[in-house]
Structures are given as structure tokens and as C-alpha cells.
Amino acid sequence: MGDPNLECTSEMKQRSQEEKLLGGEAKQQGDLLGAERHFTNAILLQPRSAVLYGKRAVCLRELGHFRHAVRDCDMALQSNPDFPLAYHVRGACHYALHEEAQAKEDLQTALRYEPDAASTEMLRRITGGGAPNSSAASSSSS
């Protein structure tokens, strides 16, 4: 997508932040295509931002563009390998694509970083309804 070697000026970072906010507003209003466009503009200005790739991946997943969302999650994880949102979204996309082994691995990783009900429930479905194999998941119900 963007040039990962691009040196971001303060003006570029500011414009990227503006695009990110516009993307968030568009998503909140249900305009997923508009949100995706704004997040793409932000990524072009700040191509090493895991958060921006993660936000666009959420839009892509909600639009049903699962493979594209997986690629964005991969890009986010290149920038920040400890980014739970990227693991959750990528796991959800793999689940939607019936790639249960990859989904299970990503969701378990997401739960280790940040327990949440959505990842826990998806993982339960993958593992046949039992409790997910993650100590983080059990701590989320406390």
C-alpha cells in the first residue's frame, strides 16, 4: 500500500490523523466505504501505522472483503506484533473463510493479549462449544 520507507513529516502525521478521525466518523455513521477510503488516505500518509491498518481491516471485514482484511492485519502485525485487534480481525476473517486452524491460532493469540467476549465466543464455536484453550479467556469473565 504505502511506501514503508516514507519519512513522515509532522504535516503528514497531522493530515493522517485528520483522515483517521474522518474514517472513524464515517464508520460510526455506517459508511464503511467512506471509512475505508479515509483509512486508506491515512495509511498513504503514515504507512507504518498498525492502528490504521487495523481500523481499515475492521471495515474490510464488515464489507465481507476477508482476504483484503487479512492482508491489512498482516501489515499491522509487521509494524506491531503485539496488536490484539489485528489478531482478532484476522481470526474472524479466517473463521468466515472456513480456515478454522488459522482462526483458532489468531483468536487464541488475541485472547492472550486482550480478553474479549467476541473472540471467546468465536473460539468456542471453532473448538466445538467447549471452553477456549486460553487462560486469558477465563479471566475475562471475572
Mean pLDDT of the chain: 88
The rounded distance, in Å, linking the Cα atoms of 88 and 62 is 13
pLDDT in tens, 40-88: 999 999 999 999 999 999 999 999 999 999 999 999 999 999 999 999 9
Contact 42, 8 (CB under 8 A): no
Angle, alpha carbons 94-98-99 (nearest 5°): 55
Contact (CB, 8 A) for 102 and 118? no
Residue 133 — very low, low, confident or very high, per pLDDT cuts 50/70/90?
very low
Residue 131: half-sphere exposure toward Cβ, Cα within 13 Å: 9
Q: What is the pLDDT of residues 74-131, one digit of tens each?
A: 999 999 999 999 999 999 999 999 999 999 999 999 999 998 888 899 999 988 864 4
